[in-house]
């Protein structure tokens, strides 16, 4: 008897709800109506931290660790992406005011955008300040000693990579999977680190594929040829010629030994040129899965650079990702698109499967 009554009650409730629902205005019902709120993306969490270098105790690198939203897990065991700083005096948030040629409406926190995309897929991310970034460049950076950086160039920053890896291992255990993720100058820094051999994958965004002195000059000339505005074209040509003359003066020893050139010491520039000249040799010694990423609208990448990158990616454990409609920072109008993140993270999954 009770079962019969419950059954009748269910039928009445179902019929009543259906009638009320069908009588609702269209704006209350699911569909394309603007009244229906879109699904809110789960928010990642982050914490500010600091870590030191084992052999340089006075160095304190500010860092940020981003974690996935609660209940979101990666398809692989615990994996941490370490963002290694690229070119420029950048903080852990990799704030950029432009793509190298044109400026954005407002500076863009590139690492935060990537960390969020990674967090939605269950990955943790760690970013740290480049040692040459101080409070004058970004108020979240600390003042740090730069004697080794001034003498050894970007190669000295490989110690910072190894310190970041050590921090991640101490925090998450020896079994944690590490991905080294970087751009531009950071490519040679990662390839000079000891941690590259510990990493499960290496991601190089818009890497410098050959000698920096040639690449920069070639890139500026290429950008001048693709620029629409005559004034912009002439400005880029002049910059290219000035840069070319500066590098020639460095090679010929025409600067005083203690001179600062474009904000850096002469040993820094000589070591950086030498390190980028060794790019192919460094890649040949590295056997981890690698992803090379470049935008089709990157004004710096001419045919020579793209051919060099194609050759470097020509290997079973390497993949070249070319993204349509994005600039040197892989952004479209200062924003990281869903298509870009889906494509790059898809390549990352394939690389981790090869590990």
**45-210+273-354 to CATH, choices 3.40.50.1820, 3.20.20.20, 3.40.50.300, 1.20.1250.20:** 3.40.50.1820
Task: Retrieve residue 190's tokens.
Answer: 């990662």
Query: With 90 as the cut, is the pLDDT of residue 345 above it?
Result: yes
Per-residue pLDDT of 272-325, as tens digits, reads: 999 999 999 999 999 999 999 999 999 999 999 999 999 999 999 999 999 999
SS3 of the chain: CHHHHHHHHHHHHHHHHHHHHHCCCHHHCCCCCCCCCCCCCCCCEEEEEEEEECCEEEEEEEEEEEECCCCCCCCCCCEEEEEECCCCCCCCCCEEEECCCCEEEEEEEHHHHHHHHHHCCCCEEEEECCCCCCCCCCCCCCCCCCHHHHHHHHHHHHHHHHHHHHHHHHHHCCCCEEEEEEEECHHHHHHCCCHHHCCCEEEEEEECCCCHHHHHHHHHHHHHHHCCCHHHHHHHHHHHHHHHHHHHHHHHCCCCCCCEECCEEHHHHHHHHHHHHCHHHHHHCCCCCEEEEEECCCCCCCHHHHHHHHHHCCCCCEEEEEECCCCCCCCECCECCHHHHHHHHHHHHHHHHHC
Burial class from Cβ neighbours inside 10 Å (0-12, 13-18, 19+) for residue 115 reads buried
Summary mean pLDDT of the chain:
86
Looking at residue 354, its pLDDT comes to 77
- Name which residue leads in pLDDT, 58 or 149: 149
Query: With 90 as the cut, is the pLDDT of residue 73 above it?
Result: no
Looking at residue 42, its pLDDT comes to 59
Looking at residue 41, its pLDDT comes to 55
Per-residue pLDDT of 85-109, as tens digits, reads: 999 899 999 999 988 888 899 999 9
Looking at residue 24, its pLDDT comes to 30
Centre a 10 Å sphere on the Cβ of residue 85 and count the other Cβ atoms it contains.
Answer: 29
Residue 1's pLDDT band, with cuts at 50, 70 and 90, is very low
Maximal C-alpha separation, the chain:
103
Q: pTM of the entire structure?
A: 0.86
Query: With 70 as the cut, is the pLDDT of residue 15 above it?
Result: no
CB neighbour list of residue 185: distance below 8 Å, 6 or more residues apart: 86, 87, 154, 208, 212, 272
Looking at residue 70, its pLDDT comes to 85
């Amino acid at each position: 008897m009770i079962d019969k009554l419950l059954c009748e009650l269910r039928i009445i409730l179902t019929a009543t709800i259906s009638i009320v629902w069908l009588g609702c205005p269209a704006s209350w019902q699911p569909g394309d109506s603007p009244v229906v709120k879109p699904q809110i993306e789960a928010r990642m969490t982050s914490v500010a931290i600091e870590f030191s270098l084992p052999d340089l105790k006075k160095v304190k690198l500010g860092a940020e660790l981003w974690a996935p939203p609660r209940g979101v897990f990666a398809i692989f065991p615990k994996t941490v992406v370490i963002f290694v700083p690229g070119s420029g005096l950048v903080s852990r948030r990799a704030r950029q005011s432009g793509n190298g040629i044109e400026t954005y409406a407002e500076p863009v926190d590139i690492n935060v955008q990537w960390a969020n995309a990674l967090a939605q897929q269950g990955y943790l991310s760690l970013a740290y300040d480049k040692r040459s970034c101080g409070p004058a460049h970004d108020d979240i950076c600390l003042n740090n000693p730069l004697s080794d950086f001034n003498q050894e160039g970007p190669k000295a920053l490989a110690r910072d990579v190894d310190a970041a890896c050590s921090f991640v291992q101490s925090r998450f255990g020896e079994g944690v999977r590490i991905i080294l993720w970087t751009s531009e100058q950071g490519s040679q820094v990662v390839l000079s680190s000891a941690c590259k051999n510990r990493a499960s994958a290496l991601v190089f965004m818009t890497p410098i594929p050959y000698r920096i002195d040639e690449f920069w000059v070639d890139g500026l000339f290429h950008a001048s040829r693709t620029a629409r505005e005559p004034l912009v074209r002439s400005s880029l040509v002049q910059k290219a010629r000035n840069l070319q003359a500066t590098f020639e003066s460095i090679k010929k020893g025409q600067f005083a030994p203690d001179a600062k050139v474009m904000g850096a010491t002469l040993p820094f520039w000589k070591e950086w040129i030498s390190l980028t000249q060794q790019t192919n040799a460094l890649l040949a010694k590295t056997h981890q899965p690698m992803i090379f990423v470049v935008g089709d609208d990157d004004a710096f990448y001419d045919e020579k650079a793209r051919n060099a990158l194609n050759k470097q990616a020509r290997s079973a454990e390497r993949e070249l990702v070319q993204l349509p409609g994005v600039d040197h920072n892989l952004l479209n109008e200062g924003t990281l698109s869903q298509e870009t993140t889906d494509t790059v993270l898809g390549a990352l999954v394939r690389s981790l499967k090869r590990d």
